[in-house]
Amino acid sequence: MEHNEAIANAIQVGWLWLIPAFPLLGAALNALLGARLQKRYGKRAVHAIAVGAMVLSCAVAEIAFWKMVFAHHPQERFFEDHLWTMWQSGSLKVDLSFGLDPLGMLMTMIVTHVATLIHVYSIGYMADEPAYWRFFFWLNLFVFSMLLLVMGSNFVVMFFGWEGVGLCSYGLIAFWYEDLEKAKAGMKAFVVNRFGDFGFIIGLFVLFWSLAGAWAPQTNRWVPVRGLAGAVRGTSPDLPRVSPSGVPLGQTVEFRELRNQIADESTGVAEHLKEMTFWGVPVLALICILLFVGAAGKSAQIPLYVWLPDAMAGPTPVSALIHAATMVTAGVYMVARLNFLFALSPIAMTVVATVGCLTAIFAASIGFFQYDIKKVLAYSTVSQLGFMFIGVGVGAYWAGIFHLMTHAFFKACLFLGSGSVILACHHEQDMRKMGGLREYTPITRWTYLAACVTIAGFPVASAFYSKDEILWKAFTARGLVAPWIGPAIYLVGTIAALGTSFYMFRSYYMTFTGKYRGGEGHEAKETEEDPHSVAAHAHAAAADRSFDVVAAAAQVAEAALPHEHGGGMHGAAPVVHDEAHHGGVPHESPKSMTYVLIALAAASVLAGFVFGWPAAWGGHGPLLEQWLAPSLPAQEIVPFAHAERSTELLFQFMGGILVAGAGWFAAWTLYAENRSPVPGRLRAAFPRAWALVFNKYYVDELYQATVVRGSLLLSRAMYWVDQNLIDGLVNFMGWLGRTVAYLDAAFDKYVVDGAVNGLGSLTWNSGRALRRVQTGHIQSYLYGALGGAIAFVIIQYVIR
């Protein structure tokens, strides 16, 4: 067996299952006992279970991480933990097994650590929540599902996680299910995700189908055979299906086996996939695009992004964990995980990069004029996910994952900062009613500013390294269908980056500078000529009411739990929630929240040059690229144009300083201290354009009119069909059955019963007739006997 560098062999590690097991255990405990524990021992018991499970999971992940770091050879960084075979059918064998390669390890570290931080943050944020245990149950269950997603060593385990995070996302968005809007948002997220999941699973089926084949007897080379059963042609079936380099052949759902089959050229699988067409459609592009539909659903790309802004109805820690740091990056992770597949299809790469690019600019432009601080962050998340897809689309897989990582830090920091702001302003999310918070919430303000500087892409902070690497790679990309697409993506992406810088600093200035407007009632400078202000106020009022209900319920709960007051979970600054209305003085959040903010802000600033020091600046290139190299074999295949180092430095300067600076400058002039009249005047000058953007290009309305209404029309048509055709058919069948039964009954009654009764009466009557023979006279019997004897004698004579 010759050694092949491209082949990845796994080391069996028997304890990897502990990483997802702890959150599952925590979720189970809180689901079964949480309500009772909370009643008897207070909320501390509930969050002790949840946070404890996360800390243990984190610890095991750390052990795995350091074990991987100290592996001698990059090829030894593949851990697998095979638990058991879930089912086997024909050539399909599905194991419950976990696998960690450098990519999965990175994701596992991000998920466990960010999730732990957010669990800690939630202790403070959700302190007033009566259904505290339910929140932590969902949160733990989410982490479990997410770990299944990133650690699953095959498509099926990944799909379980994929569905699990969708479910938990639903449960957490609709956490305050008594509010119809929030329940609707949860439902919307779930349904839109189903569209994507459908694409994902169809893509998976097509992939499995396309891998069917046979192996030539002598060369053991792959011969395509249509159908689901991969047979070995011309040889005994027990021939070991192993390529010359020792790669097991055949249909598989295991990522590592698929990767090896494609990486090992002697198997011929890669060529086959490239050449295979189905009714003239290249199958590989079809597979990748279907899988990307799944990714677009989960990662909120055009056209399936609409659920993410509405998902902000959930509690803010949820927005930070699920809808910024982890779950929404699952799509990016999946494309990177399947880099060897996507890299074979320029069409698929182009689709991924183009959709990502369009999403980046589209969502950024919507973010310009939103007033809800969480909506701004939501559109920012959609936009940043677009950047990640540009990265993994053009073939710069490590850059996409790098941006995923930095985004997890800075967007979690921004969301948690916004949560702190919302808490400070007594559950107010409208930025027009904030302002001047830097005096009241200094820690939140500085961490938020740090994250803003990061996301804008200033050279000190991490997003500079990741975003500019993505855009630079897009500019030099040559693996797409046409060479001009890369630079075009670069141009659009740069404009989107400019927009990012603008709307993030706008949110910062509106929130933290100027004077606090929360106490002044509902008049704000920009609302006067706002055509939608009435609706906005109505919405805000509705939100207030719901929070009043929650707060009142919380007070009742707290009254029942007197020992909860002054507990360590509130930190040194207990949250004052007696006044759940405007007019109270903003306050800084408890320490459990601010410490988390500081940790995330530090990570978001520092992660950049630690992990992503650019090769153009000297040294040995980005640490993360080297770390991820074993997981991303396609990184070597995808072609990039060669460029001078000076060119790269120039582009970095433009992206990092000019673009970010321009965005910041625009935001500063327009929104700093809230004194510039220009925004209001601009809006008055272009009311229609402003309304178009403010209403998110009416995409929701468009979907409402087409998809939702179409579905309803379809369901109504189906109802009609059901009522008339199906019911008619069913009733006809019933009538037919009844008629046949009637005929059958008649047959039974007259023919069968007649035969039976006839036989009976025949016996009866013949018996009646024959009993006359029995006279009782012994002599008549003797006559008979005598006559018989004589007859016998006569017959004897006659026959003789």
Partner 1 sequence: MTSIGLPHFLIVGAALFALGMVTVVTRRNAVGILMGVELILNAANVNFVAFNHYVEGPGKITGQVFSIFVIVLAAAEAAVGLAIVLAIYQTFRTIDVRETDLLRE
Q: What's the token pair of residue 264?
A: 């090992």
Neighbouring C-beta atoms of residue 22, cutoff 10 Å: 24
Q: Find the shortest distance in angstroms from Cβ 738 to partner 1.
A: 51
The span from the CA of 152 to the CA of 16, in Å, is 11
Does residue 782 touch partner 1 according to CB under 8 A?
A: yes
Identify which range of 97-105, 108-116, 644-652, 771-779 contacts partner 1 by CB under 8 A.
Answer: 771-779
The span from the CA of 100 to the CA of 123, in Å, is 31
Residue type, 326: T
The span from the CA of 394 to the CA of 65, in Å, is 29
Residue 602 · residue 582 · CB < 8 Å: no
Q: Find the shortest distance in angstroms from Cβ 768 to partner 1.
A: 10
The correct pick among 484, 779, 796, 798 for binding partner 1 (CB under 8 A) is 779
Q: Vertex 105, ends 104 and 111: CA angle to 5°?
A: 85
8-state DSSP, 589: P
Q: Find the shortest distance in angstroms from Cβ 800 to partner 1.
A: 21
Beta partners for residue 312, in sequence order: none
The correct pick among 776, 796, 797, 800 for binding partner 1 (CB under 8 A) is 776
Of 89 and 796, the one with the shorter C-beta distance to partner 1 is 796
Q: Vertex 315, ends 437 and 576: CA angle to 5°?
A: 50
The span from the CA of 492 to the CA of 332, in Å, is 20
The correct pick among 762, 786, 793, 794 for binding partner 1 (CB under 8 A) is 786
Q: Find the shortest distance in angstroms from Cβ 797 to partner 1.
A: 17
Beta partners for residue 95, in sequence order: 85
Q: Find the shortest distance in angstroms from Cβ 761 to partner 1.
A: 20
Residue type, 192: V
Of 745 and 786, the one with the shorter C-beta distance to partner 1 is 786
Q: Vertex 659, ends 657 and 665: CA angle to 5°?
A: 90
Does residue 646 touch partner 1 according to CB under 8 A?
A: no
The span from the CA of 693 to the CA of 367, in Å, is 9
The span from the CA of 460 to the CA of 400, in Å, is 19
The correct pick among 774, 796, 797, 799 for binding partner 1 (CB under 8 A) is 774
Q: Find the shortest distance in angstroms from Cβ 752 to partner 1.
A: 33
Q: What's the token pair of residue 208?
A: 């499995």
Tell which positions 470-499 bind partner 1, by CB under 8 A. Answer: none
Of 572 and 778, the one with the shorter C-beta distance to partner 1 is 778
The span from the CA of 474 to the CA of 468, in Å, is 10
Of 218 and 779, the one with the shorter C-beta distance to partner 1 is 779
Decide the pairing of beta strands 11-12 and 79-89.
Answer: parallel
For residue 146, give Cα distances in angstroms to 155, 174, 314: 14, 19, 18
8-state DSSP, 92: E
Q: Find the shortest distance in angstroms from Cβ 799 to partner 1.
A: 23
Q: Find the shortest distance in angstroms from Cβ 751 to partner 1.
A: 35
Of 646 and 779, the one with the shorter C-beta distance to partner 1 is 779
Q: Find the shortest distance in angstroms from Cβ 782 to partner 1.
A: 5
The span from the CA of 612 to the CA of 605, in Å, is 12
Q: Find the shortest distance in angstroms from Cβ 737 to partner 1.
A: 52
Q: Find the shortest distance in angstroms from Cβ 774 to partner 1.
A: 6
> Applying CB under 8 A, what is the total number of residues that bind partner 1?
11
796, with CB counted inside 10 A (0-12, 13-18, 19+), is: exposed
Binding mask 724-763 for partner 1 (x = CB under 8 A): ----------------------------------------
Of 89 and 775, the one with the shorter C-beta distance to partner 1 is 775
Identify which range of 177-185, 432-440, 683-691, 781-789 contacts partner 1 by CB under 8 A.
Answer: 781-789
Of 620 and 777, the one with the shorter C-beta distance to partner 1 is 777
Q: Find the shortest distance in angstroms from Cβ 764 to partner 1.
A: 15
Does residue 3 touch partner 1 according to CB under 8 A?
A: no
User: Which residues contact residue 293 at a Cβ distance below 8 angstroms, ignoring those fewer than 6 apart?
Assistant: 195, 196, 198, 199, 200, 203, 304
The correct pick among 73, 563, 642, 772 for binding partner 1 (CB under 8 A) is 772
Of 83 and 789, the one with the shorter C-beta distance to partner 1 is 789
Of 72 and 772, the one with the shorter C-beta distance to partner 1 is 772
Identify which range of 141-149, 161-169, 412-420, 766-774 contacts partner 1 by CB under 8 A.
Answer: 766-774
Of 87 and 783, the one with the shorter C-beta distance to partner 1 is 783
Of 12 and 780, the one with the shorter C-beta distance to partner 1 is 780
Q: Find the shortest distance in angstroms from Cβ 788 to partner 1.
A: 13
Residue 356 · residue 397 · CB < 8 Å: no
Of 751 and 785, the one with the shorter C-beta distance to partner 1 is 785
Of 88 and 780, the one with the shorter C-beta distance to partner 1 is 780
Reference 322, options 389, 417, 411; nearest CA is 411
Does residue 769 touch partner 1 according to CB under 8 A?
A: no
The correct pick among 572, 769, 778, 798 for binding partner 1 (CB under 8 A) is 778
Helices (H) and strands (E) in the chain, counts: 31, 7
Of 719 and 781, the one with the shorter C-beta distance to partner 1 is 781
Does residue 775 touch partner 1 according to CB under 8 A?
A: yes
8-state DSSP, 638: S
Beta partners for residue 222, in sequence order: 215
The correct pick among 783, 791, 793, 794 for binding partner 1 (CB under 8 A) is 783
Identify which range of 386-394, 433-441, 546-554, 768-776 contacts partner 1 by CB under 8 A.
Answer: 768-776
User: Which residues contact residue 490 at a Cβ distance below 8 angstroms, ignoring those fewer than 6 apart?
Assistant: 471, 472, 474, 475
Identify which range of 92-100, 287-295, 558-566, 776-784 contacts partner 1 by CB under 8 A.
Answer: 776-784
Q: Vertex 20, ends 15 and 23: CA angle to 5°?
A: 130
8-state DSSP, 152: B
Q: Find the shortest distance in angstroms from Cβ 786 to partner 1.
A: 7
Does residue 650 touch partner 1 according to CB under 8 A?
A: no
The span from the CA of 51 to the CA of 584, in Å, is 32
Reference 323, options 310, 308, 306; nearest CA is 308
Does residue 777 touch partner 1 according to CB under 8 A?
A: yes
The span from the CA of 500 to the CA of 382, in Å, is 11
The span from the CA of 374 to the CA of 372, in Å, is 5
Identify which range of 202-210, 677-685, 745-753, 773-781 contacts partner 1 by CB under 8 A.
Answer: 773-781
The correct pick among 771, 797, 798, 799 for binding partner 1 (CB under 8 A) is 771
Identify which range of 299-307, 485-493, 569-577, 772-780 contacts partner 1 by CB under 8 A.
Answer: 772-780
Q: What's the token pair of residue 668?
A: 């500063």
Interface ranges with partner 1 (CB under 8 A): 771-772, 774-779, 782-783, 786
